[in-house]
Amino acid sequence: MNAQQNDEQLRLIAVFHYVVGGLAALIALFPIFHLIIGLIFIFEPEKFATGNQAPPAFIGWFFVMFAAGFIAMGWLLATFIIITGRFIAKRKHYMFCVVMAGIECIFMPFGTVLGVFTIIILMRDSVKQIFGAVPATDPLEPAPAESHVHN
């Protein structure tokens, strides 16, 4: 693979990380309905009253905590995905990018596709050299001999 192809593929997966990060941030907002219902349970429980008895406030707090936690974790993941795209574009933090690509594989379907392609591209020796993760070697230079220490 030549340097131009590596650069083009790294540029593309960086852009795809921005797109998937944006989608992840949007999907993380789905529990906003639970958050709103929980807040109504807390501040206006009479709207859900059956007869003269309003539901207990802890139900509303459960909805709020669940939704807020899910949204926060989703936005954190989306932020990390976008940061990964930025690191790939800047050719920095190789190991962070590899770990995030693995984590992205959990989130089907887009994260899985992006994560697998990112790992495939990042595992190339030529790409590792671009990131500075592996020192460039001269193909004519012999490999260093391993030393064995005996006790």
- Helix (H, G, I), strand (E, B), or coil: what is residue 150? coil
Reading phi first (left if > 0) and then psi (alpha if -120 to 50, else beta), residue 10 is in alpha
pTM: 0.79
The whole-number pLDDT of residue 8 equals 93
In order along its 151 residues, the chain shows pLDDT tens digits of 688 898 999 999 999 999 999 999 999 999 999 999 999 888 888 777 777 787 787 888 999 999 999 999 999 999 999 999 999 999 999 999 999 999 999 988 889 999 999 999 999 988 998 888 766 655 566 655 665 665 5
The whole-number pLDDT of residue 80 equals 97
The whole-number pLDDT of residue 132 equals 83
Phi/psi for 2 (5° steps) reads -85, 170
Amino acid making up residue 21:
G
